[in-house]
Chain A
Amino acid sequence: MQIEAHDLYKVLQAKFGFSTFKLGQLEIIHHLCNSKNVLAVLPTGTGKSLIYQLLGYLLNRPVLVISPLISLIDDQVARLNRLGEKHVVGLTSKLDHNQREFTLNHLRNYRFIYLSPEMATQPEVLNALKQLDYGLFVIDEAHCLSQWGPDFRPDYLKLKDLLSQLGSPTTLMLTATATKSVREDILKKMGFHSDQVEQVVYSVDRPNIYLEVEHCETPAQKNKKLFKLLKMIKGSGIIYFSSKKIANQMTELIAQQTDRSVAAYHADVSLQDRYRIQQQFMLGKVNVICATSAFGMGIDKNNVRFVIHYHMPGNLEDYLQEIGRAGRDQQPSIAILLYTAGDEYIPSTLNMKGFPSASNVQTFFAKPESRASFEPDQKQLLTYYHDQHKSAQEVSQIFENRQVAKQNSLMQMLNFVNEENCLRNNLLTHFGEQEVTHNANCCGIDCVFEAVATLKLTKTSEVEQETNQSLSLVPWQTRLNQLFSQKK
């Protein structure tokens, strides 16, 4: 399909309010317009979603987007709603029976259809999906296809069949992080030869984010450094924790020990509070968020100045994704990983606990009546392999291999933490990229306070110090007048 550049810019301005494309967007759009499949590796914050959303307006045929999590789907639907788009639907388990029926019966009315791979392969859904002629088939977070990646999802393996059942529309596979072997694996799992797909790979490097690993002797010293940092560093930031409980505890401590307005943000926080916190964060009313790494965030705030890892992530892919929330405005920012010996114990335990044991696999396969008692996640995983006619032994072996792969990823993360030279080059090497020349604005080890000063990220004015405003209730009459515009 031939699309004039003029039209592209017109839609970009009219629908998204931008006058220029970001790195990689235009190139990918051109490939897709020429009906070429694309595997795109674009760093976080470069506007991956805009690529297929913009095409959705130009193609006038539905765009099907496969996404791994309900929270991500909700987030994308809400963003499109915010742009004024009404013909968008998240086909998730949140719909009740009637709504699901209605949606399936009116599928052709939607411009954007988001769903998970599990949902897409349900017979009733698949039947409805087959009735449409798609402009584009999008696989978001395509690294979930790869068994070599840390986020492998077996249900993603069904996408190859799904694609052919839908008439093999032009396909866009998107990810923020994928090593060469993961990219090859993605293509293989989707049944593509390398000459059928254009690979658009941009560096994962974010030069405006200074990387810092700070080794702390004890947890107490870690807290002390954290508080000192929060007192000196300017702007807003995110602190990642691996447990909700500690995120809550630290939120309280930070509120007591510093002048920051801070909020905890994780799966236990109610829906409306997550919304409030996101919005308060966007407006700068909350300037530090204590989040769990496992929990996806719909925050698209450009001027996040720092990301701190209070606990280390389980792999470099997650690390990269999380630090990528800093400095989207391209201004100098810093990613600080606070490490105490033994911190790796938490992700390591999570890796071990994540898979069913060999004896549980055996029970699941041998005794169908036992299946109801399995945790939903494990049940889904085991059912998948059971349906693939694998034996219990084969499945146990798969899990063992996955565990080894996860432990290897953790070791690479640990190597990064213990790097004695350039952190950035350690990271780039992992993703198969060329090394860069180290300089003062690149990275540092155990010199966080100096780095904050060098990067000019130190608070400067008194006004900025005073962010922890005292809260109070607004009288209800005033509140109602604020909620509902009084302009006639």
Chain B
Amino acid sequence: MNNEFNFSYFLLQFLSTDDWRRPKVLLNNLIGRRTVSNLFWGIQYGLLPFFNLFPKLTATDFERAINLLQEKKLIEKQQNDQIRLTTAGKQMQQIIQESIVQFHLSGMGLHTNLETVQQCLNLVIQITSEFSYKNNRYYPLQYTGQVMARSKQWFLKNKSDTLPEQLQAEFTAFLNTIPTEKADIFTNSFIGHNDYGLTDAQFESILDLTPFAWHLQKLTLIADFIRWALDDSKTDHFLCNQIVLPWITPSPLSTSSLRSYQLYLKTKDLQNVATLRHVKLNTVKEHLLEAAMLTTDFPFNLLLPKSISTDLKNYLTTYQVSQWQFDEVLKRDARFSFFEFRLLQIERGQIQYAN
């Protein structure tokens, strides 16, 4: 499958033969659009591990990929654009699964933009490499101002005669934790003094990978590096930790949602949070739904009704969480708000970060 694995096939894993799904949810999760509805359905479709991993994906390219699946009769489309796997699509999905399992991205995109970390790492390595050769006349890689500035800050803070040696020791420690071939791949991409590494096209040719498979491979490697650099149990990664840390938000929640959630845990009063934060009550509810989806130990019991009617209980156990209809719930228990309905769906649904 290596020779054919492309973005279209990659999308098959998020589709099902059982229900019609909205392609927009796939696109929005892959580019990292953080809305409650998008995250909720993204979780149902298994998209969360890949959230925000393709921030540059355009609607046109995405549509092209979906159309390709349709042309190959791997999916069928409804009038309203919803899509479903065909039997052939299901078979292909199973074949593709072999190619996908090797990539462990585990929702890293909720915490950072992997490409930015990669850029910062590239630049820091270039600067340190040139420094080790005592050369200050070279073309630095040109990234955004923020990447340039943070890389420079890192260098100025850590500059010493032993810096190259220390950084090499840290990389050695990391590379010893991953398979040799992966370690070779990781290091062969770097740009240093009189040494410009391999291009994407060259890697694809050496490893016999499609551009898309190579892209996923790169993302996995940088995700592995980030996890290692952030691992609190390690003591041998001081410099690498500093490269990565400024780009990471410790919580998977957005800053605003995190603030609302923390205030709620303190006050246990939604209206109070809204007043304190000068936002609408509905906004606070949206923030808490995000917290319910993305954090562990969410206090569902504080926000869900204490008791549920037998009629409603029967309904909820008969259908799968993703098939529950709010209208049907209202018919059986008029006290339920949409917020509580979604919260219950989240509580009962299965959330998996890791693939």
Contact = CB atoms under 8 A, between A and B. Distances in A.
Contact of A96 (B144, B183, B193): B144
Which of A94, A251, A279, A484 neighbours the largest number of chain B CB atoms within 10 Å of its CB? A484
B187 A78 contact: no
A252 to B, nearest CB: 9
A83 B138 CA distance: 7
Interface stretch (A176-184, A306-314, A393-401, A470-478): A470-478
B188 A272 contact: no
Given A81-B140, A473-B206, A483-B129, A263 B201 contact: yes
A77 B184 CA distance: 33
Contact of A471 (B128, B172, B202): B202
Contacts of B171: 480
Nearest to B172: A480
Contacts of A78: 139-140, 142
Given A263-B199, A263-B201, A476 B180 contact: yes
Contact of B193 (A271, A276, A471, A483): A483
Given A264-B201, A480-B187, A82 B122 contact: no
A277 B200 CA distance: 10
Given A94-B144, A476-B175, A483 B149 contact: no
Interface residues of B, number: 50
A279 B192 CA distance: 11
Nearest to B182: A476
A272 B193 contact: no
Given A471-B202, A480-B172, A272 B122 contact: yes
Contact of A473 (B188, B190, B191): B188
Contacts of A77: 142
A479 to B, nearest CB: 4
Contact of A484 (B165, B185, B196, B198): B165
Interface in B151-210: 164-165, 167-168, 171-172, 175, 180-181, 183-193, 195-202, 205-206
Given A79-B139, A270-B200, A473-B185, A485 B206 contact: no
A78 B171 CA distance: 28
A271 B184 contact: no
A418 B186 CA distance: 51
A87 to B, nearest CB: 14
Contacts of A479: 184, 187-188, 190
B195 A482 contact: yes
Contacts of B190: 479, 483
B125 interface: yes
B164 A275 contact: no
Contacts of A263: 199, 201
A475 B139 contact: no
Contacts of B141: 271-272, 275
A354 B197 CA distance: 38
B168 A475 contact: no
Interface string A248-269: 0001000000000001100001
Interface string A274-287: 01110110010000
A276 B191 contact: yes
Nearest to A483: B192
A95 interface: yes
Contacts of A251: 201
Given A82-B139, A275-B196, A480-B168, A96 B145 contact: yes
Contacts of A480: 168, 171-172, 175, 187
Nearest to A73: B142
A251 B196 CA distance: 20
Interface in A87-113: 94-96, 99-100
Given A483-B192, A485-B193, A472 B206 contact: yes
A43 to B, nearest CB: 24
Contacts of A271: 119, 141-143
Contacts of B164: 484-485
A257 B193 CA distance: 33
A264 B191 CA distance: 19
Nearest to B134: A485
Interface string A445-488: 00000000000000000000000000111111101111111000
A83 B202 CA distance: 30
B146 interface: yes
A367 B134 CA distance: 60
B168 A84 contact: no
A90 B197 CA distance: 27
B49 to A, nearest CB: 23
B203 to A, nearest CB: 9
Which of A77, A269, A273 neighbours the largest number of chain B CB atoms within 10 Å of its CB? A273
B146 A96 contact: yes
A74 interface: yes
B153 to A, nearest CB: 12
Given A276-B199, A479-B184, A484 B140 contact: no
A400 to B, nearest CB: 29
B103 to A, nearest CB: 19
B188 A82 contact: no
Given A78-B139, A481-B168, 5 more contacts: A273-B201, A277-B199, A279-B139, A473-B181, A479-B187
Which 8 A-B residue pairings sit nearest by Cβ, starting from the closest?
A: A95-B145, A485-B132, A483-B192, A479-B187, A484-B164, A476-B183, A279-B196, A473-B184
8 contacts: A264-B201, A271-B141, A280-B196, A280-B199, A471-B205, A474-B187, A476-B180, A479-B184
Interface of B: 119, 122, 125, 128-129, 132-134, 136-146, 149, 164-165, 167-168, 171-172, 175, 180-181, 183-193, 195-202, 205-206
